[in-house]
A = this chain, B = another copy of it.
Amino acid sequence: MKNKNYLIIFIFITMPLFLFAVLSFSAKNANSANESAPPYNAKIPNAVSGPFSRYFNPHALPNKAIIKYFPYQWLDAYLNTEHNTAVKISKKAPAWMRKGVGWKFPEARAWPLHYGNPYGIKIYGFRGAAPTQTQYMGNALGVSVANGIVYAESDDNFIYALNAKTGRLIWRNSPVENNLMGIPLVYHGLVFVSAGSVGFNFFQLVRYKEGKTPIRGAHISFNGIFALDALNGKLAWQRLTYGEQMASPAIHKGILFYATGNSKVYAVNALTGKTVWVSHVRGVDNMSNPAYYKGRIFVSFAFPNHLYCLNAATGRLIWQTTIPGATNTGMGDVSPAVSRGIIVMDAVAYPKIINDKKTVQTILAAFSSGSGKILWIKKEGRGLMPPAFKGSVPMIHNGIVYSGNPANSTYQARNLYTGKLLWLWKIPNPGPAGAGRGNPTYYNGRLYISQSKYIYVLNPKNGKLIGKAYVGGRMGIVNPVIIGGTVYLSNSWDWIVAKPLRSIIITKHK
């Protein structure tokens, strides 16, 4: 009897230790998904003060009382599958959120915003220098905002977390030597970053010449997905990928989906990085983010140009389709938008040499999310083959598709169901590299577009320009992120900018 009691006491005491051991073991197993322990810079004397070491300033963290007025997560690069990055805020939100704030934050390779030319214009020309600066020194896409913090990935190799009110740096980290071209996702206290280079190594030239699909990014540094603590930037887990991981992932119910430069689509547990499934398709995903929509994943590849529909639970291929005539990196560069069972995306197509210059026709297409059947196809206009990112990110709001066309530097509005053109707006002074890449944002009856050096405001009903504001630098594929009274932007010239909406001068009111 006494012995039995001792046994019970013994079990009672040791149980927590046992559970702790089991949990530690599970955690260790979860980490086995990580490619290269020890984590970068671990146990290196002095590396804590090195230039790539994590910077963290807890004093810059947002006031806890205001966090609830912000989105608490960010599960698609463009907030939702409609790609409309606008958030209305509560009337109880503090005045600064409602009225908007303004600040500018220079990132690590910041280039003067008011300077006329991009870096390296003499050697590459504007059409070459501007996208190269984007791909290697600045922000390729826009930002995400959650819990009072603005997150931005830069091709300067860093991810930044700034206080949304003050623009002060909370943390900065560089988990790997590579360009970070995506938009950070936020989920359950973690931030997800994708790393990938646009480059190919020499072996891929040989493969391409032999008629094989080239693998982008392989052996061009280390590509992958990195999960960091959202509040302090500490590395939680990492998963390297063989091909580049330029595109952003998508998250649904704790599963992180991403597509690579070597024909793969992955689903992993967002909290641990452990594999749920891996699916092998064909081609190269460049900048096409997967979209999660009603149990399915839609993701687009080039070489060959294909849009794939996979079962989100199993990775099984449901259907695949293409945009007729799509060329070059066309479909692999564009993120499909989905709304009301309709997928919309564009691609450069039908290349033709005109006056010794390569031109393309940009095609906008709508597909049934159920069957993949083409619902309509529209020509958006022919123009010079755009350098680098070749398409535009479409946005859908209330049954209308808003999409740019960098070949002819326009934005166009169409009926979601029929593709009928509602209006076309020509971007003023788009610059030699063309403009019309980033998704517009619909907010409070106005359409916001950030392109080249300006934010433009259009009347979404007729496409008339009703206002603009100067930002400077260059915005390529950058979408305006609107949270209450503030628009948050990043810039190819390596800046993060906040602007109060009320500072944008409205010249006409309709």
Interface residues in chain A, defined as those with a beta carbon under 8 Å from any beta carbon in chain B: 35-36, 38, 40-47, 50-52, 55, 106-112, 115, 117, 119-124, 128, 131-132, 135-137, 155-158, 172, 174, 177-178, 197-202, 204-205, 208-209, 214, 216, 218-222, 224, 240-242, 328-329
Checking B40, B108, B200, B328 against A119 with a beta-carbon cut-off of 8 angstroms, the contacting residue is B40
A321 nearest CB across to chain B (Å): 23
In the complex, the answer to whether A124 meets B197 with C-beta atoms within 8 Å is no
- CB-CB nearest in chain B for A115: B38
Please give, as numbers and ranges, the residues of chain B lying within 8 Å of A178 by CB-CB distance.
136
* Known contacts A47-B106, A50-B108, A106-B45; is-contact A35 B123 (Cβ 8 Å): yes
Contact of A205 among B47, B205, B240 (CB under 8 A): B205
Residues from chain B with Cβ under 8 Å of A128 in the complex: 219
**CB pair A198 B201 closer than 8 Å:** yes
A270 to B44, CA, bound (A): 37
Residues in B with CB closer than 8 Å to A106 are 44-47, 50
In the complex, which residues of chain B have a beta carbon less than 8 angstroms from the beta carbon of A35? 120, 122-123
The answer on a CB contact under 8 Å between A205 and B204 is: yes
Report how far A349 CA is from B366 CA in the complex, Å: 52
Distance A115 CA – B109 CA, assembled complex (angstroms) = 32
* Residues of chain B lying within 8 A (CB to CB) of residue A119: 36, 40, 222
Nearest to A138 among chain B residues (CB) is B177
Give the distance in Å from the alpha carbon of A405 to the alpha carbon of B351 in the complex.
Answer: 47
**How far is A329 from B205 in the complex, measured between Cα atoms in Å?**
12
Say which residue of B36, B43, B45, B328 sits within 8 Å of A120 (CB atoms): B36
A199 CA / B174 CA spacing, docked (Å)? 21
Q: Give the distance in Å from the alpha carbon of A47 to the alpha carbon of B106 in the complex.
A: 7
Residues of B with C-beta under 8 A to A216: 202
Report the bound CA distance from A40 to B197 in whole Å: 22
Q: Which residues of B contact A222 (CB under 8 A)?
A: 119-120, 123, 132, 136
Cα–Cα distance between A219 and B137 once the two chains are bound (Å): 12
B residues near A123, Cβ cutoff 8 Å: 35-36, 222, 224, 240-242
Inside 8 A of A109's CB, which chain B residues have their CB?
40-41, 52, 177
Closest 3 CB pairs of A and B: A199-B199, A136-B221, A51-B51
CB of A443 to closest CB in B, whole Å? 30
Closest chain B residue to A156 by CB distance? Answer: B177
> For the complex, what is the distance from the CA of A220 to the CA of B420, rounded to whole Å?
40
Asked whether B199 lies within 8 Å of A51 as measured between CB atoms, the reply is no
Report the minimum CB–CB distance from A294 to chain B (whole Å): 33
The CA-CA distance from A155 to B68 in the complex, in Å, is 43
A155 to B50, CA, bound (A): 15
Which of B110, B158, B199 lies in contact with A200, CB distance below 8 A? B199
Which residue of the partner chain B has the closest CB to A211?
B209
Taking CB atoms, residues of chain B closer than 8 Å to A224 are: 123
Question: Quick one: which of B112, B124, B135 contacts A44, CB cutoff 8 A?
Answer: B112
Residue of B nearest to A493 (CB): B44
Instruction: Report chain B residues within 8 Å CB of A115.
Output: 38
A107 to B240, CA, bound (A): 23
Contact A197 B200 (CB under 8 A): no
A44 touching B110, Cβ below 8 Å:
yes
CB-CB under 8 A from A112, the residues of chain B are 38, 42-44
Distance, CA A160 to CA B38, complexed state (A): 25
Complex interface: chain B residues within 8 A of A197 (CB): 199, 220
* Closest B residue, CB atoms, query A174: B51
A418 to B200, CA, bound (A): 41
A66 to chain B, nearest CB (A): 24
Tell me the complex Cα distance, A111–B47, Å: 10
Which residue of chain B has its CB nearest to the CB of A109? B177
Question: Which residue of chain B has the shortest Cβ distance to A224 in the bound complex?
Answer: B123
Contacts of A55 in B (CB 8 A): 51
- Compute how far the CA of A112 lies from the CA of B132 in the bound complex, rounded to whole angstroms: 33
Which chain B residues lie closer than 8 Å to A45 at the CB level? 106
Q: Of B156, B204, B219, which contacts A132 at CB under 8 A? A: B219
How far is B364's CA from A474's CA once the two chains are assembled, in angstroms?
A: 51
Complex-state Cα separation, A112 to B216, whole angstroms = 29
A483 to B114: give the CA distance in the assembly, Å: 49
Closest residue of chain B to A42 (Cβ to Cβ) is B112
